[in-house]
Chain A
Amino acid sequence: MSKDKSSIFSPAVSFKNLFKKPETIKVPEENKKTAKRYRGFHINDLDKCIGCGTCSEICDNKAIEMVELENVKTELGQRNERPKIDYGRCCWCGLCVDICTTGSLQFTQDYTYINHDAESFSYIPDNKNINKVESEIGYERDQYSELLDLYRVEMQELNAESRVKSFMEIVKGFSKKQAEKEASRCVECDICTEACPASMNIPEYIRGIYDENLEESLQQIYEDNPLPEVCGRICTHNCESICSIGHRGEAVSIRWLKRYAVDNVDLAEYNKILGTEKIHQVDKKVAIIGAGPAGLSAAHYLKLMGYQITIFEAESKAGGMMRYGIPEYRLPYEKLDKDINYIKNLGVEFKFNTRIGENISLSDIKKDYDAVFAATGLHNGRSTRIPGTENNNVYQAIYLLKQITKGKKIPLTKKIVIIGGGNVAMDIARSLARLQKKKYGQVNVLVTSLETEDIMPADQEEIEEARAEGVDFEPGRGPKEIIVSENGSISQVCTNCCVSVFDEDMNFNPTFDDQDIQNYDCDMVVEAIGQAGDNSYIDDNYDIEYEGPRIKVNDKQQTSLSWLFAGGDIVRGPDVINGIKTGHNAAQGIDYFLKNNQKSS
């Protein structure tokens, strides 16, 4: 232990400071610059912000409140709310800036604000902070302080070489662990619900998957959608296009999560889980024409209200375009049957092979039933009517898809050209590719469409998958003529360049350049350019109002005849989820009509 040094002169070292410049900074004459990462007052880009409310969710002091702003409107992908920050509660921790889904909320380097009015400390930040001056950006989120899970769990799919050999379902589905990880990515902002045409309770059923409570998921799904096995595979997923995580990362795989939830609940448990073991019966009868998505949806909701339901279906099985239009590799028949069987087991009566206008008339139905819902769909293909389409080797895509579904043999040649750029063209192209691969060992299918690839109406995923399976594309071509050789077989399709598809008013008005001609060799042509319906069963007896080509209905799907309701593709397309929504609306409309026996509002 050394003796501690001490001297009476040692403290005199402090006298050195008499001659030094003081180290204090005299604010406000001098000012100390804050560091770049300082967490000062907030600013928010009101155009970039979508009002998702995640900042309000993560603030641990409840300092952020979402308030409605007048000059912002609710539209697809955003709400009319913006964050309002209360600086009496905020502690400047920065969690809101780290988790902001669009990156619009940021910090400046400013930190002084003086005001004798306490109300002024709570305000809505815009591009200027609370001092109403432009200020430098301070703390910024980077890849390490990220609080969101930006990337999707990869979905296992069959690869292109193996899948083109059969009609086996391409998507394999999530495992339990994958589904829970994907479900944890959701921030429950609820913007997707507003974009879904059927307003499904999306955050709630995703939460059910995360909590390992699939019964809750099933109940939430069936509130608005009685065909989840179908939509979980082929829905056009408007929800995913505007998911808030999709702004800076990849959207939550909402469709695959729905598929996981319903795939893993046994059909035998549905009645118990959904509370439909006993339904109170009402003594009124409703007829539904067409067992497609709109008809099945209306049948489901009307049956739950207690009405006696009969569905008249022209084909031998239910499903409409879901069965006869969508190929099996996208929607296996057994999964479609699971959804239909649940509706059938509720007590809905099906009359198959009964075509309205042929086997039975609309007035016959009106006599026996209290209300009628028409959802006959669009089952006739349109034709380009270019010279050569009258040849026997020119087919309609819808006709061929129906034959494939029924298991019947269809004409299949070695070189096929398909005219059309929508999802139906993709469906027939990929189905024919599989059949060609089986019969001839190789694929030779060419798809030509008016639209160039960037504006093709088909889903981008379908186009890419088709290409991988060997389908060729020639977009931006207009069909001019089908060249027939002397013995009656087709030899080529002649096309010119399609310069533009829409005119200035965004009407369909294609223009062509006849100087640019290209011919493609083929021996079979398939047209897939659009669908039309057949409403002659109504028009022969009754006078209803039309709006252009579609039947005119009010918001409860009621036509100008008070007892006749219409929904599905004949009223508004173009996909399954919109059909389901019109079916649900019609069920509510019919219920109101039958209870009040008058025109519903």
Chain B
Amino acid sequence: MRSENELIKLLNRDLNLLSFKKLRKQNISIRFENEELVSGLNYLKSQNYIHLATISCVDWIEDNQFELIYQLFSYEDKISLSVKTRINRKTSKFVTIKNLWGVAKYYERDIHDFFGIKFTGNDNMDELILENWNEIPPMRKDFKTRQYVDKKYDWRQYHGQE
């Protein structure tokens, strides 16, 4: 079982990290360039980080980037590792990791549904949660829910008791 500092030393030695940070006890975040990410995840899986909890996405609209975060966990080290990378918001494309974890197919499909990011290699990008959606992907920061509701629905006017 490694401590947080030992893990950081090991990762710095074997991988090409862009940055790393110990967030708090049992929680570390590391960042890769786009090209290094898949090989980095492969290496981490071999180091017993076998549990992929989820893939999250954050829209940094002011930096013009999306950030993808892969939440890994090791049952031996008991450390939660957040593996991050940033992609260009305009092209919004990345590679799939379904060959490492099959379940990633659905996380990526969910991110495509809500953020509009295409994952090359993942052949099923149909709508998962949304249905017949015609606007921009809704979790993006430039989608305004109030404007959408005002456009699509009529507000019922009622006055209450006199």
Contact = CB atoms under 8 A, between A and B. Distances in A.
Interface of A: 84, 86, 118-124
B159 interface: yes
Interface in B117-162: 158-161
14 contacts: A84-B160, A86-B160, A118-B158, A119-B159, A119-B160, A119-B161, A120-B160, A121-B160, A122-B159, A122-B160, A122-B161, A123-B160, A123-B161, A124-B161
Q: 7 shortest A-B CB distances, which residue pairs? A: A122-B160, A123-B161, A120-B161, A119-B158, A123-B160, A119-B160, A84-B160
Nearest to A84: B160
Nearest to A115: B161
Interface in B19-40: none
A124 B162 CA distance: 9
Nearest to A119: B158
A497 B93 CA distance: 91
B136 to A, nearest CB: 25
Nearest to A118: B158
Contacts of A124: 160-161
Contacts of B159: 119, 122
Given A118-B158, A120-B160, A121-B160, 5 more contacts: A84-B160, A119-B158, A119-B160, A122-B161, A124-B160
Contacts of B158: 118-119, 122
Contacts of A118: 158
A129 to B, nearest CB: 13
Contacts of A119: 158-161
Interface of B: 158-161
A118 B159 CA distance: 10
A121 B158 CA distance: 10
A84 B158 CA distance: 13
Nearest to B160: A122
Nearest to A117: B161
A86 B160 CA distance: 8
A59 to B, nearest CB: 15
A446 B65 CA distance: 73
Contacts of B161: 119-120, 122-124
A123 B159 CA distance: 9
Contacts of A84: 160
Nearest to B159: A119
Nearest to B156: A118
A122 B159 CA distance: 7
Contacts of A122: 158-161
Contacts of A120: 160-161
Contacts of A86: 160
A86 B158 CA distance: 10
Contacts of B160: 84, 86, 119-124
A124 B159 CA distance: 11
A124 B158 CA distance: 14
A580 to B, nearest CB: 41
A123 B160 CA distance: 6
Select the residue from B158, B160, B161 with max chain A CB neighbours within 10 A.
Answer: B160
A120 B160 CA distance: 5
B158 to A, nearest CB: 5
A133 to B, nearest CB: 16
Nearest to A130: B161
Contacts of A121: 160
A549 to B, nearest CB: 51
Nearest to A121: B160
A108 B161 CA distance: 20
Nearest to A123: B161
A118 B158 CA distance: 9
B45 to A, nearest CB: 33
A118 to B, nearest CB: 7
A131 to B, nearest CB: 13
B85 to A, nearest CB: 32
A315 to B, nearest CB: 56
A132 to B, nearest CB: 11
A90 to B, nearest CB: 12
A122 B160 CA distance: 4
Nearest to B161: A123
A64 to B, nearest CB: 12
B49 to A, nearest CB: 32
A123 B162 CA distance: 8
A15 B161 CA distance: 53
A122 B161 CA distance: 6
A463 B16 CA distance: 71
A155 to B, nearest CB: 36
B51 to A, nearest CB: 27
A482 to B, nearest CB: 69
A121 B160 CA distance: 6
A433 B144 CA distance: 65
A84 B160 CA distance: 9
A86 B161 CA distance: 10
A577 to B, nearest CB: 40
A119 B158 CA distance: 6
B160 to A, nearest CB: 3
A121 B159 CA distance: 10
Nearest to B158: A119
Nearest to A88: B158
A118 B161 CA distance: 10
Contacts of A123: 160-161
